[in-house]
């Protein structure tokens, strides 16, 4: 019953692990601005916590199983652009995660999970495409399990469990604030107060709510436009107890999904983010559209030349 760190293992030690009872967990999240009060690594800190918590629970629940945590990959696309944000092209994110998964699959590892703390739609899809491709090609189970959970959480699907973990109901004002939360607001500020309080700027207590209607959220980089400070929601509401309760709920839901994936009871295809099924968010959509448009332009030019 052990959780290993990949970078600390020798090649023979890694090779000695029982492939039928070993889960490898990748952490993949970008460095991204999170308002004036949070560090650039919020998404990776969150994803790493989820990876470690799931790993510890897996080895406790499954005697004889082992978990290997890969070092975090600070990669991500569809991020809010500002100083410190490192944006990687969506196809590069997909290809790097694919190559990581393929290396592990070629080495015989059958269970590969991806933990992610970034909600950018194209980023979620890149991870899911990489996992699907590795699974299909090598006959393994590779799944990005946190994208599905993140969107279920943000859509309010776990509010009942959250209230039970808190030991009280959310007030109408809190429910409204939760619905408006999206980036460096109530939840992420709470999480960092719980995980790394020394990295949270004390000014979060004085930050006003930042509310954005759906139409505004469709604009690129919307939290940083027109004087925005790069956050969405209510950071001043942040509370470590709120983070503790939400993370308990998310880890429990993650375990339910992961156990189902490992046992073959759940289909990874049914536990993807909603963006996977939306063509413009797929990595090959715009290159294909561009190629079709270019082909149409060439055909039009050829036809015009032929009529002269």
Residue 306's pLDDT is: 52
Tokens of 59: 């080895």
Tell me the sheet residues that pair with 111: 23, 141
Q: 52: number of CA atoms within 13 Å, CB side?
A: 11
* Tokens representing residue 158 in the block: 């776990």
- Predicted pLDDT at 307: 52
DSSP label of 69: E
Tokens of 26: 């990748």
Q: What is the pLDDT along the chain (308 residues), one digit of tens a residue?
A: 689 999 999 999 999 999 999 999 999 999 999 999 999 999 999 999 999 999 999 999 999 999 999 999 999 999 999 999 999 999 999 999 999 999 999 999 999 999 999 999 999 999 999 999 999 999 999 999 988 898 889 889 999 999 999 999 999 999 999 999 999 999 999 999 999 999 999 999 999 999 999 999 999 999 999 999 999 999 999 999 999 999 999 999 999 999 999 999 999 998 899 999 999 999 986 554 443 333 333 333 334 445 55
**Cα–Cα distance measured from residue 264 to residue 159, given in angstroms and rounded to the nearest whole number:** 28
Of 124, 142, 125, the residue nearest 133 (C-alpha):
142
Tell me phi and psi for residue 232, to 5 degrees.
-135, 115
Q: What is the mean pLDDT of the chain?
A: 92
Residue ranges in 116-157 assigned as alpha helix (H):
121-138, 146-154
């Amino acid at each position: 019953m052990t959780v290993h760190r990949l970078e600390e293992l020798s090649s023979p030690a890694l090779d000695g692990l029982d492939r039928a009872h070993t889960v490898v967990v990748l952490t993949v999240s970008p460095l991204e601005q999170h308002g004036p009060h949070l560090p650039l690594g919020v998404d990776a800190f969150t994803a790493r916590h989820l990876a470690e918590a799931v790993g510890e629970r897996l080895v406790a629940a499954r005697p004889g199983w082992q978990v290997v945590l890969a070092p975090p990959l600070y990669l991500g696309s569809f991020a809010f652009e500002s100083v410190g944000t490192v944006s990687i092209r969506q196809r590069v994110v997909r290809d790097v995660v694919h190559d990581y998964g393929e290396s592990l699959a070629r080495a015989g590892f059958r269970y590969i999970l991806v933990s992610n703390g970034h909600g950018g739609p194209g980023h979620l899809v890149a991870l899911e495409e990489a996992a699907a491709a590795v699974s299909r090609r090598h006959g393994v189970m590779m799944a990005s399990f946190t994208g599905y959970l993140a969107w279920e959480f943000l859509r309010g699907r776990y509010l009942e469990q959250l209230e039970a973990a808190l030991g009280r109901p959310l007030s109408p004002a809190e429910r409204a604030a939760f619905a408006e939360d999206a980036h460096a607001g109530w939840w992420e500020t709470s999480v960092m107060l719980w995980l790394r309080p020394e990295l949270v700027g004390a000014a979060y207590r004085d930050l006003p709510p930042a509310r954005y209607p759906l139409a505004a959220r469709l604009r690129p980089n919307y939290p940083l436009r027109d004087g925005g400070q790069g956050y969405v929601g209510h950071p001043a509401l942040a509370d470590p107890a709120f983070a503790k309760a939400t993370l308990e709920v998310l880890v429990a839901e993650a375990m339910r999904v992961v156990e189902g994936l490992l046992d073959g009871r759940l289909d990874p295809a049914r536990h993807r983010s909603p963006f996977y099924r939306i063509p413009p968010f797929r990595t090959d959509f715009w290159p294909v559209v561009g190629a079709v448009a270019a082909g149409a332009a060439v055909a039009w030019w050829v036809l015009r030349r032929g009529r002269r």
